[in-house]
């Protein structure tokens, strides 16, 4: 973790390479970001699907995405994600004996309610889901959905209303609908849905880096001039 004084100095330095208009846009978007809801993708294997989920998350102001990689590794399609990866916090779970349990246990410890999208018999309609507690919304693989581990660890199950013959949505469509509904509801019902000041500080630095060409060389020069080792 970076020292607070170092972060402030680095932020000020990087801002010198970014236009005032750009800085204003970064801060404007940052003010509407939230971690009151986070998305979990369990072994989704089609790159266009999880790339589309990332794009939707950015659009709806959801900052963090969690990748569970038990069988499938994630390869982002920039053509679909439209560069959204540089604006999101991506957490990958790939080194544990059971990445699903590791991810969901960590989220529970942070105070998240694990909500799985499923046609489970005890599923509630998305519109009836309470957003009082922070939500970790879990989506399973394209063919078989969520695993037994998710079923066992989930605190609640949700479903989207369907009135046609087809029994399920494409995962990226399902995720977009869920994120829209829940992020809208959170903004209406949760006064303090915003990121903490510390989260904003850390993310703003990352966004400045993403906005500056060859930022690694610029930071190396900054560190050298300030005797940072």
pLDDT of residue 159: 84
Domain at 34-190, CATH class: alpha beta
pLDDT of residue 80: 46
How far is residue 76's CA from residue 60's CA, in Å, rounded to a whole number? Answer: 19
How far is residue 121's CA from residue 126's CA, in Å, rounded to a whole number? Answer: 14
pLDDT of residue 32: 96
Taking the domains of the chain in order of start, what are their residue ranges?
A: 1-33+194-229, 34-190
pTM score of the predicted model: 0.89
pLDDT of residue 229: 63
pLDDT of residue 37: 97
Assess contact for 179 and 131: CB atoms under 8 A: no
In the block, tokens 């942070």 appear at: 110
How far is residue 74's CA from residue 51's CA, in Å, rounded to a whole number? Answer: 9
DSSP assigned state of 77: -
Q: Interhelix angle for 197-211 vs 4-15, to 10°?
A: 40
User: Mean pLDDT in runs of 10 for the chain (229 residues)?
Assistant: 82 94 96 97 80 92 92 62 79 89 96 88 86 94 82 91 73 91 96 95 94 92 81
* Secondary structure in 3-state letters for the chain: CCCHHHHHHHHHHHHCCCCHHHHHHHHHHHCCCECCEEEEEECCCCHHHHHHHHHHHHHCCECEEEEECCCCCCCCCHHHHCCHHHHCEEEEECCCCCHHHHHHHHHHHCCCEEEEECCCCCCEEHHHCCCCCCEEEEECECCCECCHHHHHHCCEEEECCCCCCCCCCCHHHHHHHHHHHHHHHHHHHCCCCECCHHHHHHHHHHHHHHHCCCHHHHHHHHHHHCCCC
Pair of tokens at residue 84: 């959204």
């Amino acid at each position: 973790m970076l020292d607070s004084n170092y972060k402030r100095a680095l932020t000020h330095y990087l801002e010198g390479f970014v236009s005032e208009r750009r800085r204003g846009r970064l801060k404007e978007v940052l003010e509407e970001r939230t971690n009151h809801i986070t998305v979990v993708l369990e072994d989704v294997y089609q790159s266009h699907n999880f790339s589309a989920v990332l794009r939707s998350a950015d659009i709806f102001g959801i900052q963090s995405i969690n990748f569970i990689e038990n069988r499938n590794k994630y390869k982002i399609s920039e053509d679909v994600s439209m560069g959204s990866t540089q604006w999101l916090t991506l957490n990958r779970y790939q080194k544990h004996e059971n990445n699903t349990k590791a991810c969901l246990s960590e989220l529970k410890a942070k105070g998240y309610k694990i909500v799985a999208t499923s046609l489970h018999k005890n599923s509630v309609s998305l519109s009836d889901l309470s957003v009082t507690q922070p939500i970790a919304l879990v989506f399973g693989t394209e063919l078989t959905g969520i695993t037994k581990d998710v079923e066992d660890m989930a605190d609640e199950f949700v479903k989207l209303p369907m009135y046609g013959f087809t029994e399920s949505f494409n995962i990226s469509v399902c995720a977009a609908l869920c994120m829209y509904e829940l992020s809208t509801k959170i903004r209406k019902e949760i006064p303090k849905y915003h990121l903490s000041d510390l989260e904003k500080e850390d993310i703003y630095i990352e966004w400045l880096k993403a906005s500056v060409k060859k930022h690694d060389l610029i930071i190396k020069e900054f560190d050298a001039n300030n005797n940072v080792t």
